[in-house]
Amino acid sequence: MNLRTSILPTIVVAQFCCTSLWFASNAVMADLLKNFSLESSALGHLTAAVQLGFIGGTFLFALLALADCFSPSKVFCVCALLGSLANLGTLFDHNTLTSLIILRGLTGFFLAGIYPVGMKIAADYFDKGLGKSLGFLVGALVLGTAFPHFLQAFTGTLSWQAVIIITSSLAVVGGGSLWLLVPDGPYHKRAPRLNPTAAFTVFHKPAFRAAAFGYFGHMWELYAFWAFVPVMLQAYKALHPDQIIHISLWSFLIIGIGSLGCIMAGLVAERWGTKRIASLALFFSGICCLIAPLMFLVDSSSLFLVFLLVWGLTVVADSPLFSTLVAKNAPDHNKGTALTIVNCLGYSLTIVSIQLVNSLRESFALSAIMCCLAIGPLFGLLSLWRNK
């Protein structure tokens, strides 16, 4: 097995292990609410805290160009270790909503050195076939995101504390393996000097802007959908009490199927074009947003679950493709900075969409407000094809 062949599985596994930190609290949210006497609105606050931490981290990492000035594998490992410690802090018996928000914010901050840096490492190894490589990599992110739900679904007696410990342990393993087994890639170009303006000058190129704006539209929808998958399932059960749905199991399947979407999109894009396949994924996920209110009225859990599976498949399939377009249109010595600042701005939008849905829940049924997520795919499609 040559180096390039063995490197990708290592990066993918490390990405999966470390990104399991992302939604660890969401998977055990019911236990956190009960154990720390929190209101139901804590779901939105704790999810947003991770996003805010990630935004702050990516902005600082982009400003300092850490992934371009230092070994990306070492940056990845250090952040994985610190992120696992922040995640473990959730176990403290005397946590309050404030302390939990801070801990989840810190977890998000250190994830900024994991997700975009992992893509930077892949770009350092794979010039041709980058879309396919990032398809596997983002697929690992999706599985890592869904994994805490898997633990809850398939380990009936597993405590919420065990879920936190397992996800933190995986992050340590993932970060350590990347440091030990993945040296700097052949296409890694170390930035000649610190340039704080690099995070902004990358947007001067029209093709880069189009890719970035398409990604922003995609992000408006993605994390709001993921955050509220368990809530949508619960809302459907409330409307149809005779229907039986295992919340944790289906949350895992609906989010996790996105990994298959990423891999399929990466492979198909090799033949049909990255921009075209990204646009198709955006279009179909946007349609899912619009018909969501109608699907809640269907008195068939099977049909409703199939609908959510299709949504989960398409909602993230374009993610590796946008990252590919961003990386290919960024300067070689600033790829890490470009990927990081685009992540920063994209995740900033997730705060708005998550909090919008969270606040509207007080006045409207969740089934009615999920269609507002279609704003993102529409914006993304217009941005991608405005300048052909």
pLDDT at position 2 is: 47
Segment of 25-34, 63-72, 122-131, 310-319 carrying the highest mean pLDDT: 310-319
Q: pLDDT per residue over 174-190, tens digit each?
A: 999 999 988 877 766 66
Fold for 3-185+196-385, please state it.
Growth Hormone; Chain: A; (1.20.1250)
pLDDT at position 303 is: 95
CB 101 within 8 A of CB 46: yes
Least confident of 7-21, 164-178, 215-229: 7-21
CB 76 within 8 A of CB 46: no
Q: pTM for the full model? A: 0.78
Q: pLDDT per residue over 134-169, tens digit each?
A: 888 888 878 877 877 777 676 556 788 888 999 999
Q: pLDDT per residue over 266-319, tens digit each?
A: 999 988 999 999 999 999 999 999 999 999 999 899 999 999 999 999 999 999
Least confident of 42-46, 197-201, 295-299, 326-330: 197-201
Distance separating alpha carbons of residues 373 and 271, to the nearest angstrom = 30
Distance separating alpha carbons of residues 324 and 321, to the nearest angstrom = 5
pLDDT at position 289 is: 95
Segment of 21-35, 208-222, 354-368 carrying the highest mean pLDDT: 208-222
pLDDT at position 207 is: 87
CB 76 within 8 A of CB 175: yes
Per-residue pLDDT for 191 more than 70? no
Distance separating alpha carbons of residues 306 and 145, to the nearest angstrom = 20
Smallest Cα–Cα separation from 226: which of 372, 20, 47?
A: 47
SS3 state at 339: helix
Per-position DSSP letters for 123-135, written without gaps between them: HHH-STTHHHHHH
Segment of 28-37, 67-76, 80-89 carrying the highest mean pLDDT: 80-89
Tokens matching residue 87:
């995640």
CB 127 within 8 A of CB 332: no
Tokens matching residue 150:
């898997």
Per-position DSSP letters for 363-379, written without gaps between them: TS-HHHHGGGGGHHHHH
pLDDT at position 89 is: 95
Tokens matching residue 178:
């990347």
CB 282 within 8 A of CB 316: no
Q: Where are the domains of the chain?
A: 3-185+196-385
